[in-house]
Structure 1
Amino acid sequence: MTSPRLGSTGRTAKALLVDDRKENLTALAALLQGIPVEPVSVTSGEAALKKLLVDDFAVIMLDAQMPEMDGFETASHIKARERTRHIPIIFLTAADRDAQLALRGYAAGAVDYLTKPVDPFALRAKVELFVDLWTKTNELTRKQAIVAEQEQRQQALAEAVDAALEALHGSDGVRDVGRAIEVLSRAQQF
């Protein structure tokens, strides 16, 4: 079995599985075996929204028809939140192929709407794609943070060099070599 993929930030890619039937959650988790993703299963839309408050997910697989809060309402809440609106949602439903339900799913923000029984190879390929995108996005974010930090260091160093040169040239004609050395010594700590 492949272990869940760690992003460069050390975080594991996760898939949120949402279905009111535990046997469906078990089947989905089994289907994901061998994919570098950690499945997180919940049995309601409300529970899914709570999980999304505290964790990040590469993909959400969401049952369209659940009691209380159905998948469409759950997806609407997910897409309304700034923090979660980018997470791809794959709707899964046992309902017959109903174009109206599929349209409703896409309108709620789904990237796909699949009817059960689901083609396991197609679903696995989609999940792998979203996990890969999630991992690459995290890597890019990490690299951007490193570049921003390096730019800050370069800016601080440039300011230190300017201050040292100013001390060496002296505004009143007096060179302050000691001050220039002090400024450059502090700059080495960056």
Structure 2
Amino acid sequence: MTPPELNTRIPRDAYTDPAEEAGVLLVDDREDNLVALEAVLGTLEVPLVRAMSGEEAMKALLRQEFAVILLDVLMPGMDGFETAGHIKRLDQTRDVPIIFLTGAESASEAGYTFRGYATGAADYLTKPFDPWMLRSKVSVFLELHRKNRQLQQLLAGERDRLGEFARRLTALERCLDPGGAHGPAAPADSGGQADAQKAPAAAGAAARHSPAVPDVPELARHIAELADALNELRAELP
């Protein structure tokens, strides 16, 4: 069961800064293991955040964005499997990849590896791990996260371009028909004769509702803008 303080749902946009590099979350209840992880990953030049329990890990995940989580399996209280389960149940953290770290004696126990992958782990490494291998795996997830962020920014830019295209198209339509193609129909004279006193008002209404002549320079400008927008969108297509 999820602890009460971990039930808070925080949108990812609330703490994500596009200019900030996503970090790596290191979860282990032993100080010496955290120091070793920091020594191996320090050359990657990304934020490394410590958590010495599952509860601390969940709070860190709700505060900032991470590209990958290194999660120890055997921890007192909430162990690695339970922590991973909570991570995968939250919308804002479920897509963060998890690399399980465990001792060789634990990895040999039947079902440990299967249980790790069943809880959503992206990888499973045993201690003592090869520093080069660990750094390489973490680098891959960091690069994947960067590419995913770039893709999201590109899609947002394309949505903005489409919005601008729609705005220019609307402006062009208004330029072509600024007053509407047709005004409301004048009511029929029930007596068969026009009321002389109402003739000026009727004439003014007819003038207001008559189709206006488009402003040719303005129309040309909108057409040019529309053509530019179409060319920009065409250039973005594969």
Q: Counterpart of 1:12 in 2: which secondary structure?
A: coil
CA contact (8 A) 1:167 1:177 kept: no
Aligned to 1:12: 21
Paired with 1:42 and 1:111, the residues of 2 have a C-alpha distance of 19
CA contact (8 A) 2:176 2:214 kept: no
**Alignment match of 2:83 (pick from 63, 74, 86):** 74
CA contact (8 A) 1:168 1:176 kept: no
Identity %: 43
Structure 1 unpaired stretches of 5+? 1-7
Paired with 2:157 and 2:211, the residues of 1 have a C-alpha distance of 41
TM-score in terms of structure 1 length:
0.85
**Alignment match of 2:99 (pick from 72, 79, 90):** 90
Q: Residues 159-170 of structure 1: matches in 2 within 5 Å?
A: 159-167=170-178
Structure 2 unpaired stretches of 5+? 1-16, 183-209, 226-238
Root-mean-square deviation (Å)? 2.5
Range with greater deviation from structure 2 (8-17 or 54-63): 8-17
What are the Cα deviations for residues 14-71 of structure 1, in whole angstroms up to 9, with x where unaligned?
Answer: 0000000111111101100211421111100000001111211100000000000000
Aligned length: 177
Query: CA offset at residue 77 of structure 1?
Result: 0.4
Amino acid at match of 1:127: V
Question: 1:105 aligned to 2:116?
Answer: yes
Aligned to 1:58: 67
Q: Counterpart of 1:34 in 2: which secondary structure?
A: helix
> Comparing both chains, which one has the higher relative contact order based on Cα–Cα distances under 8 Å and sequence gaps of 6 or more?
1
TM-score in terms of structure 2 length:
0.69
Q: Residues 1-190 of structure 1: matches in 2 within 5 Å?
A: 9-96=18-105, 97-98=107-108, 99-167=110-178, 171=182, 172-175=210-213, 177=215
Paired with 1:103 and 1:173, the residues of 2 have a C-alpha distance of 74
Q: Counterpart of 1:167 in 2: which secondary structure?
A: coil
Q: Considering only CA atoms, is the larger Rg found in Structure 1 or Structure 2?
A: 2
Paired with 1:176 and 1:89, the residues of 2 have a C-alpha distance of 62
